[in-house]
A and B are shown apart, each in its own frame.
Chain A
């Protein structure tokens, strides 16, 4: 369950951006939102609603920060 939530959140954060910038594509934004909601539901099932929401906030914060700080490597330094 936790691994599912991590994967869903990671995909959601990745879909949120286009070449290191917040995406302008509406479809991507909606997809990202759906994935986030799914991750939050999965965590709420695992931990209960209150704890699940807090874990979700923490998880997204960590994944978002790490992805932002490492994105320049993934993009092979083209935009940087």
Chain B
């Protein structure tokens, strides 16, 4: 490739990084944490679900049968069972839903007019996951019932990674476009880094700060090339699918009807009701689903035609031998019919590809081992834009003729320190904040309350970075703060659940303790790095080498 073209690609790579770098760090860092969102952080945040007894399927069937008598007949159009401690719910939910809403009086239709349906309504019964006693009962529009659902720090951080809590379409568009810009950075990076294989193992941290950043950026980028490409592609897809791809596909094939498109490919079909009463064997379907594969997890059950001979049960099954989550189908009498991927009805390979998008992005397809790999690589992905930005600053400041004034570089440096350091502190602050809100303030719904410590601390640190005396010292202080927060997670958890942990060291407690120990170790490591970095700086301090702070100090900024 011509050097002129490479130069252009280098400029493009730099500018894409400068514009999107901080946001990319924010998304990638929270993504690395989100990998452990469900169920690991979910279990940490809710000690009451860490040591649940095995699901009592007979009890669940009995509850469905009992509470089915307490709802109107048309609410039994669809019955949903959300098992406790799996994914987002901490309790057992049984929902009776009428897709067509409340029955309406017959009105004469004008010729050509489609019959109107009322919005879907439902009754949700919420049960204690241990005692199976009724906790609450809600009836209303489905939209409203789910709008006010409870959530905690695990859903908060996963939601933030998905759409920055800006909702649809802006949030999803932002993250989707960031995935695309990341792909652009990867492609341009591959072309401009010509000695890609020869320098595969090159890392010279003690030669100079600039070389350390340069080699680190390349090493993380080249070794993580395939992973980062997969993450960028799946991230762009997941971000843009709902707001761009689905409307576009619906416009082409379904006359713009998006609901119809989604229903065609994903919704479970309605059975033809026979009006012959037959008990629905919920327990036997659950029992069979739990034995489909080793380590299988069943999260939800959807029953169509409940209590009728034609009834069908659809169970959402994950973590078996399949990479993607699957739907296991059972007849009303409990007979197993088939199992397929969520997009299994699509012809060719497209269904299989769509099915792996989500697990491939979040690394939840092979247990904790894969999650750890994905988490570490996610941190690497976050370090890529950060090292790139620092490299750009370092080169700019040390250039013979800097493109911008030292003040501009300094302001940008402060923005990087505040924005990136702030998100790290804010993310780890979620752990003590969740406990504080749940046990000290006894907040019923932690999710909305956790916005304040998260966004408040992030904003405060970002602003403080601009008024701090020296951004280098401020970065050091932020590192200490992060390390301290990380090291407090273990004692906090021991205080709130230490006694239960000793009494019954169940899987949930093991997972939580794993998080505690990992965070504590990271905190210790941060202190060690700080100490080493300080020593290294002192030993290698070269008065002829300029750095950002030095140059700025010289200018008297």
Contacts and interface: CB of A to CB of B under 8 A. Distances in A.
B215 to A, nearest CB: 8
Contacts of A80: 204-207
B198 A22 contact: yes
Contacts of B323: 48, 50-51, 54
Nearest to A54: B360
B223 A20 contact: no
A32 B424 CA distance: 37
A67 B201 CA distance: 8
Interface residues of B, number: 34
A2 B201 contact: no
Given A48-B321, A58-B370, A59-B373, A71 B203 contact: yes
Nearest to A19: B201
B377 interface: yes
A71 B216 CA distance: 12
B200 interface: yes
A22 B223 contact: no
A57 B226 CA distance: 7
B203 A72 contact: yes
Q: Give the interface SS of chain A, mostly helix, strand, loop or mixed.
A: helix
A4 to B, nearest CB: 13
B202 interface: yes
B368 to A, nearest CB: 11
A68 B223 contact: yes
A22 to B, nearest CB: 5
A55 B366 contact: yes
Nearest to B360: A54
A61 B227 contact: yes
A68 B366 contact: no
Contacts of A71: 201, 203
B226 A61 contact: yes
13 contacts: A20-B201, A51-B365, A54-B230, A55-B366, A55-B373, A57-B226, A58-B370, A59-B373, A61-B223, A65-B219, A68-B201, A69-B203, A80-B204
Interface of A: 2, 16-17, 20-22, 47-48, 50-51, 54-55, 57-62, 64-65, 67-69, 71-72, 77, 80
